[in-house]
Amino acid sequence: MSATRVDTVVVGGGAMGSAAAWQLARRGVETVLLERFGPGHANGASHGSSRIFRTSYADRTYVELALEAQRLWAELESESGTSLLTVTGGVDQGFTPYLSEIADTLAGFGVDHRWLDPGEATERWPGITFAGRALYYPTSGRVHADNAVAALQQAAAARGAEVRHGSPAVSIEVTADDSVTVRTADHEYLARRVVVAAGAWAQKLLDDIAPLPPIRVTQEQPAHFTPRDPATDWPSFGIMHDPDAPGSPEFGGVYGLSSGFEGVKVGFHGVGPVVDPDHRDFTAEPRQLSALQDYVRQWVPGVDADALTPISCTYATTPDSNFVIDRVGPVAVAAGFSGHGFKFVPAIGRLLADLTIDKDAPALFSFASHSAERAV
């Protein structure tokens, strides 16, 4: 088996790993990016045409990271010559105590937001049912996921990174001198540092290396629905329900956004069946799909609930839905992005690059913050 010495190997060429490779290459770091599948594959969580971009979180750590990502998306667009972030506005409704927390946090950052009464919200977005006041965010929108991953890899390669598809890492070994050996089927890399951003495969690769919390891998099953009026404007949107209220929907609320020519994407959040990422059928579970159609009929009447194309993707979720971004020795880890990580991608790439020079990520994402979860 041939061997190559390199400063940093990134394992996982989805959005997070590709962002890490871009950020490392921007710093002039010799980088190899290993991806197990081919370009544009649909086996993980980084494919498709659309992900929601928003800064609307109650936790300050996430708002800060989203604001950084907003700036970095613009830098990536400029560097790659690719349009990635489309501003459509965003609106959330439902569980008011949480929305009030979001409003308070955004006010502290000076992020534009405003409350709308149901009549005003309905007038602006007649395709959505509004049962109470809603919180509107003018700067929210969508990111084109496939184009973003391609742009990150293109930009990384343009700055000298080697991008290798069809090269799954079969083992990662920390050596006695605190460096790392990464092996594929036909090659061995001797690296100063490794970044592991392997999505649903993280636990399989890192079980003996990193103190990961339990990560639940599910096959999520949103769908693209055909709008009844192609001229209707669509924001990104969230509908939340009080889980303790009588009559709350079985699978909770939904998120949604326009996906352009594919229609309006609507899905439940984090309630799909548990799967092994190497053994998925990519087929929507009939009961949840039927429940999604019923939900759409009531809450998103601007689309045809019977004209849909199911989608399949994976979530890799920690018990508290917070990310894991930390390091153990020479191994930096990114995992558990819980169905809400894509908006932060370029900023998470920066955090991962920082880990390779022993800078810490926010404490919220540390192994220590998840230690109680590991004990459960």
Please, is 40 exposed, middle or buried when counting C-beta atoms within 10 Å of its C-beta (0-12, 13-18, 19+)? exposed
**What pLDDT score does 376 carry?**
32
Note the pLDDT tens digit of each residue in 221-232.
999 999 999 999
Cβ neighbours around 309 below 10 Å, total: 11
Please answer whether residues 235 and 127 qualify as being in contact, where contact means their C-beta atoms are separated by less than 8 angstroms. Answer: no
Average pLDDT of the chain? 94
Q: Is the pLDDT of residue 247 over 80?
A: no
- Whether 373 shows a pLDDT value over 60: the answer reads no
pLDDT of residue 31 exceeding 70, the answer is: yes
- Residue 335: enclosing H or E segment and its boundaries? strand 331-335
Assign 246 a pLDDT band (cuts: 50, 70, 90): confident
Determine the average pLDDT of the residues in 202-219: 92
Phi/psi of residue 144, each to 5°?
-80, 110
Length of the chain: 376
Q: What is the mean pLDDT of residues 239-257?
A: 89
The distance of Cα 236 from the centroid of its chain, to the nearest Å, equals 15
Cα 46 to its chain centre, rounded Å, is 7
pLDDT in tens, 256-281: 999 888 999 999 999 999 999 999 98
Residue carrying structure tokens 């069809």: 166
Question: Which tokens sit at 313?
Answer: 């993707």
User: For residue 98, what are its two tokens?
Assistant: 């949480």
d(CA 314, CA 113): 31
- Is residue 165 exposed (0-12), middle (13-18) or buried (19+ Cβ within 10 Å)? middle
Token digits of residue 268: 């439940």
Q: What's the CA gap between 200 and 217, in Å, rounded? A: 6
Where are the strands (E) in 187-341, listed by range? Answer: 187-196, 216-220, 223-227, 236-239, 254-258, 264-268, 303-310, 313-317, 324-328, 331-335
**pLDDT at site 375:** 36
The answer on pLDDT for 154 being more than 60 is yes
How many alpha carbons fall within 13 Å on the CB side of residue 27? 17
Q: What domains are there in the chain, each with its CATH number?
A: 2-46+146-212+319-375 (3.50.50.60), 90-138+217-317 (3.30.9.10)
- 82 close to 153: Cβ distance less than 8 angstroms: no
* pLDDT given for residue 184 in this prediction: 95
The residue behind tokens 């009929």 is 297
List beta partners, residue 219: 314
pLDDT at residue 293 above 90?
Answer: yes
pLDDT at 168: 94
Q: Report which of 163, 162, 139 is spatially closest to residue 73, judged by C-alpha positions.
A: 139
Determine if the pTM surpasses 0.85. yes
pLDDT at 2 over 90: no
DSSP string, 20-68: HHHHHHHTT--EEEE-SS-TT--SSSS-SS-EEE----SSHHHHHHHHH
pLDDT at position 178, please? 87
Q: How far apart are CA 122 and CA 43, in angstroms?
A: 37
Task: Check residue 320 and give its pLDDT.
Answer: 93
- 162-164 and 2-11 strand pairing: unpaired
CA torsion, ordered 284, 285, 290, 292, to nearest 10 deg: -70
pLDDT in tens, 321-368: 999 999 999 999 999 998 899 999 999 999 999 999 999 999 999 999
β partners of residue 181: 173, 190
In angstroms, the CA 168 to CA 189 distance is 12
Q: Tell me how far apart the terminal alpha carbons of the chain are, to the nearest angstrom.
A: 41
Least confident of 157-161, 177-181, 234-238: 177-181
pLDDT at residue 47 in the model = 86
- What percent of the chain has a predicted confidence (pLDDT) above 70? 98
The confidence score (pLDDT) of residue 45 equals 85
Q: Which residue has the tokens 């061995």?
A: 188
